[in-house]
Structure 1
Amino acid sequence: MLEWYCADFSLFDMMEQCEDLIRAVAHGLGKDETLSYQGRIIRLEKPWSRSMVSETFLRHAAIPVEEALSSGRFDEIMGLDIEPELGHGAPVFLYDYPASQGSLARVDPGNPGCVLRFELYIGGMELCNAFSELTDPEEQRLRFEKELAIRGRLRKTTYPMPEKFLNALRFMPEAAGCAMGIDRLAMLFTDAKTIDEVTAFTPETL
């Protein structure tokens, strides 16, 4: 996993940086503007597509995102119905995630029901997860307290409040952060069908 942060970056700045990084890898490998993965051609010309989560549910799921959330099926539908359909002809950024799906991300000031988070999909795989960092320690504390209360009601293990982390947020500038799956990137550029083909060892060998 490659993880990095950029001060004073917006979420859309981070999208552009992801585009440039992956295109630079492609050009370095002689792939130019196209990538062949599992028998499909993926075009890498900028700008890459952007799609809101709510719109994507309407296109690929049997129920809208609101119903998926209320029924506890959001992750199930994302994993089984939506993710496999994304990023085949060209990469796509999925953004405007529901607020409940981004506990460390800033709320979108223009759409308070969503957080400033995106995931990048190429060839039906999630390649990146990124968001505008929540740097308000008081708001972050309230989110942690809410999560701990839920875990307590469900009789799940609860954990101490991460005071060092919350204190560090006071000194963090506005920033966007991104985590990229290097193993999945290797899959794309080697046309590997499974992640086991590009890792030094599989979990079964441990």
Structure 2
Amino acid sequence: MLPLLCTLCPFVAVVSDLSAHERIRRRGALLSAVRDFLRGGGYMEVETPVRVRAPCPEEHIDAVRCEGGWLRTSPELHMKRMLCAGAERIYAAGPCFRRGEHGRLHREEYTMLEWYRVGAGCRDMIGETRRLVEACAGALGVPAPRPWSEWSVAEAFRRHAGWDPVAAFEPDRFDFDLTDRVEPAIKKHGGAVLLYGYPAGRAALARLDPGPPRVAERWELYIEGLEIANAYSELTDPVEQRGRFEACNADRARRGRDVYPVDEAFLEAMEAGLPECAGIALGIDRLLMALTGAQRIDDVLPFPEGQGRGCGMKSVQD
């Protein structure tokens, strides 16, 4: 009877398979550890809309269309509106979506954790992020990543790509060499590597260090070669933010990508006052992969077959 039920009902197949049950258990343990850690640090859990009218424009991220708007690629803009309304320490964990992403390390739907703290800069969040990762490793009963290293973008590119993108930024060359040369070196190094000091041309929603040189107050965390988290000292100037949105949309138009409406509600909230703050976006699926040694994102999903399929996805590298 059980094989027949498994054929007719995929959920029965999932919960009856021991390896799948272990995936469910591990995800539950990691998510519980995340919530316990952040609550212990005074953070409040919040929710934001999954369907949005204006996704945050980014050069290489495409949103999934749905009736009346798009599925969120991140809860970031709504969470910052909460900071403008007086929240000081908040986090959210839930599904986000990126159109066209499918491969060994990607799914169109993925689980994102983001947290924001008023009065902090991105470097203030490094120790907290490390302790969070260690708490998750402890909950899973696996070793925490070692060693923890910090690499500047300028030095990493000089050493592994032969040029300095902070001194002279070339966007396409930067993207290619990051993927083809720097990230393989990070993977070979092993452990946890924090890459910091991004060129101003890759600031996204981060503020710029007053310099010189003018670099983004931004870092990314890699664990065992997997990109796990992205942290900013958040830009608080609404005029500069509007300009970045418009420049990004112009670049997207040149590349033949969708152009998104500017989120006027977010910019109005910024005009009312976004406090100095820092924020981090962390991929739950990727973190679980890195800590457990999984080679494919399917290995950490409770429903690896069919998640995101049939949505017009294209294959991406890894």
Q: State if a TM-score over 0.5 links the two structures.
A: yes
Instruction: Determine what percentage of the aligned residue pairs are the same residue.
Output: 46
Q: Which deviates further from its counterpart, 192-201 or 69-78?
A: 69-78
**2:278 aligned residue:** 176
Structure 1 residue 158, shift from structure 2 partner: 3.4
How far did 1:10 drift?
1.3
Name which of 264, 279, 284 aligns with 1:163: 264
Aligned residues of 2:206 and 2:234 also touching (Cα < 8 A) = yes
Give the TM-score normalised by structure 2: 0.55
- Over 3 Å counting, the alpha-carbon distance change for 1:77 and 1:153 in structure 2 is closer
Q: Of residues 217, 221, 224 in structure 2, which corresponds to 1:123?
A: 224
Specify the alignment match of 2:178 in structure 1: 78
Instruction: State the Cα deviation string for residues 9-66 of structure 1 (Å, max 9, x = none).
Output: 11111111111111122233344xx45xxxxxx425xxx3221101011122244326
Structure 2 CA distance for partners of 1:128 and 1:152, relative to 1, 3 Å: closer
1:2 to 100, 113, 128: 113
Is 1:185 matched up with 2:287? yes
SS at match of 2:198: strand
What is the alpha-carbon distance in structure 2 between the residues aligned to residue 172 and residue 15 of structure 1?
22
> Does 2:209 correspond to 1:108?
yes
**161, 169, 173: which one pairs with 1:61?**
161
Instruction: Normalising by structure 1, report the TM-score.
Output: 0.82
Q: Is the 8 A contact 1:14 1:176 kept in 2?
A: yes
Q: Does 1:135 align with 2:236?
A: yes
1:66-114 alpha-carbon deviations (Å, 9 max, x no partner): 6984262211211122113216443111011011112211011233521
Counterpart contact for 1:68–1:77, Cα < 8 Å: no
| Residue 306 of structure 2 is aligned to residue 195 of structure 1 | no
Task: Say which is worse superposed, 160-169 or 85-94, in terms of deviation.
Answer: 85-94
Query: Shift in Å at residue 189 of structure 1?
Result: 2.3
Query: How far apart are the structure 1 equivalents of 2:128 and 2:216?
Result: 20
Once residues 160 and 28 of structure 1 are traced to their aligned partners in structure 2, the CA distance between those partners, rounded to angstroms, is 42
**Separation of aligned partners in 2, 1:188 and 1:49:** 16
Bigger shift: 66-75 or 20-29? 66-75
User: What residue is the counterpart of 2:88 in the other structure?
Assistant: none
Partners of 2:166 and 2:213 within 8 A in 1: no
1:89-100 map, 5 Å? 89-100=190-201
Aligned counterparts of 1:146 and 1:195: Cα–Cα separation in 2: 33
Identify the range of structure 1 (12-21 vs 72-81) with the bigger mean alpha-carbon deviation.
72-81
CA contact (8 A) 1:95 1:118 kept: yes
Cα distance 1:203–1:81, how it changes in 2: closer, same or farther (>3 A)? Answer: farther
Work out the number of aligned pairs and report it. Answer: 195
Q: CA deviation at 1:156?
A: 5.2
Name the structure 2 match of 1:21.
Answer: 132
Bigger strand fraction: 1
Between Structure 1 and Structure 2, whose CA radius of gyration is higher? 2
Q: Which residue of 2 aligns with 1:51?
A: 151
Whole-angstrom CA distance in 1 between matches of 2:226 and 2:255: 32
CA-based RMSD of the aligned residues comes to 2.5
1:193 is paired with a residue whose SS is coil
Task: Check the 8 A contact 2:166/2:198 in 1, yes or no.
Answer: no
